[in-house]
A and B are shown apart, each in its own frame.
Chain A
Amino acid sequence: MAEFHHRYMNTFVSTSGINPPDAQRVFDRMAAAEQRYSRFTVNSELSRVNGQAGQETPVSQSFAALFFEALRFYAETDGIFNPFLGNVMRSIGYDRSFEQVDRHHALRHNVPPTAKQSSFTFDLEKQTITLPADIALDFGGIAKGWTVQSAAQSLLSMSRPRGLINAGGDLMGWTDSDHAQWKIDGSHPFSDHQSIGRIAFDSGQLGVATSSTIKRSWSDGTQLLHHLIDPRTGLPAASNIIQATVAGPKLLPCEIYAKCLLILGSSQGPAWLAAKHPELSYVFVDQSGKITASEATNMPHIRVVFLKQIDIP
């Protein structure tokens, strides 16, 4: 099985079972997405839109497409997924590419309150966005998930029988029954090299995404912070889940709902997710190391086997 890899969006991106020209197509998409959606690239389209908050700003078709998806998930998740958190990220010190964040004394920024009388406009005909002043977009994981899913769907539309694209744990694979199954290990929250379970599927397509409060965490010198914001508080989520994995037919809902599950916690999240998307399977690890998995899956071609308990350092 050929494997190719590159680094985009501060993430290790790899392809498996995909021929070299197709792998190059995937990487081209990732490069384009990084250039378009990065909050940390001064001349990205996202930075331009954020820099013109308060003004009507024309956007590209690709940008409009992703923004439309972000709004769709905003509505579907009752605002638990919120793409308007760019300034909140700055306020907690995540103001640069993560490898450049001072993990022990991150610089925090004051964010002025947003006027309640303001409004937000997305003109679909003119393809323009008008953000409220002092509000910034942050696409984060949705841009990565959207790009991987788009790349996978593009290859599927070209009748490629098998492939897998993995962008830092947000992955989408597909295979027909004539080929070997895909096996996807779930990593330990504190060690990428240690597996805590496995998802396998024989045929069809599958998206898998994992959100963690451990991987991108830092301190401002007084308190521990991480990048998964609970929009109800404007602060890093304080639920009892430290890692959540969601699997389903497409990657993007998995990416969104893994984040939401983690934000909502073990008491509220599973029932909320089951009510909205019963077709999605989930596995999460709580602060004590207990692993909880959804009881049943509506995808008979996948098998989910995880440990029940792991040690937490």
Chain B
Amino acid sequence: MKKVLAPVVGTLGAGVIVLSGMAHFAHADNPFSSSQTSKPAASSAPSTQNGSSQQAPDIKTLGLVSISYHLNHLDQLASNQIAFWIEDEKGNYIKTLRASSFTAGGGYKMRPESLPEWRKSADWAHASQAKINQVKLPEQSAGSHTVYWDCTDASGKAVKPGTYIYKAEGNIYWQNRVVFTGKITIGKKNTDTVAQAAYKPASAKTHGTLLENVQANFDSGKRIASVHQDPTTSSQGS
């Protein structure tokens, strides 16, 4: 086949053409298919100026912090929202690891009780769509889970050795929350710590247990590429 010459045999709807003589085409080999592996134009490198990308350079980091937790499902309104983030020892925000997709995606505008401590620390009202997509956590099954911190900050740069605070916030019932706080030192040594829970207000505990057993360990030199994390991938239609 050297040429596809197909007469227009119909115009069903303005601007729509119907071609004849195309049936044989369904099984034809694509003579141009080698282009699938051709290199893209050098001038087409993606822009990094809009900040929407966790860009590709391989960053040498101190190691990997694994934060494990046990999640329960609470069968009640305004509940089951969780967020994990990192602050430095002085309480300055470093990075959000994961946050429930409803709240991260803007659900807090409808329900301002959702994860207020995380949103304030992260200044989430000004988060970019790229950042939202990066951290949003679809609904998880009840049970044990792990989120990872690759020891980089929100801009993707490796953080310095030192002590950092990891936090997990959960909405138990409307404004009733639990906030787990733990310290972890990252450097050359592996460390393990357990976070302490604070219920806000103290009576929040009577509304159920959303998060339990929040603890972290640091593996010096370990890379995030070496671990498997629940994917956040979804097929959402286009």
Contacts and interface: CB of A to CB of B under 8 A. Distances in A.
Best-buried of B33, B37, B238 by chain A (most CB within 10 Å): B238
B227 interface: yes
A184 B136 CA distance: 14
A87 interface: yes
Given A1-B227, A5-B54, A232-B12, A69 B40 contact: no
* Chain A facing B: main interface SS: mixed
Given A117-B8, A234-B13, A125 B3 contact: yes
A68 B238 contact: no
Contact of B36 (A19, A72, A153): A153
B234 A195 contact: yes
Interface stretch (B14-22, B168-176, B192-200): B14-22
Contacts of B1: 124
A193 to B, nearest CB: 4
Nearest to A170: B238
B53 A4 contact: yes
A35 B32 CA distance: 19
A21 B3 contact: no
A71 B25 CA distance: 7
B203 interface: no
Contacts of B206: none
Interface of A: 1-8, 11-12, 14, 16, 19-21, 23-24, 27-33, 35, 60-62, 64-65, 68-69, 71-72, 74-76, 79, 82, 84-88, 91, 111-125, 127, 132, 134-136, 141, 144, 150, 153-154, 157, 164, 166, 168-171, 173, 179-180, 182-187, 189, 192-195, 199, 208-212, 214-216, 229, 231-235, 243, 245
Given A28-B39, A91-B14, A119-B8, 16 more contacts: A20-B57, A62-B38, A74-B19, A74-B22, A88-B16, A124-B1, A124-B2, A135-B17, A150-B36, A154-B37, A189-B237, A195-B138, A210-B238, A234-B12, A234-B13, A234-B14
Q: Give the 7 A-B residue pairs with the shortest CB-CB distance, closest first.
A: A234-B13, A212-B237, A32-B40, A65-B32, A187-B236, A24-B56, A87-B15
16 contacts: A1-B224, A5-B54, A5-B134, A61-B34, A68-B31, A71-B22, A85-B16, A119-B5, A119-B8, A120-B19, A123-B4, A153-B36, A164-B233, A184-B235, A187-B234, A231-B16
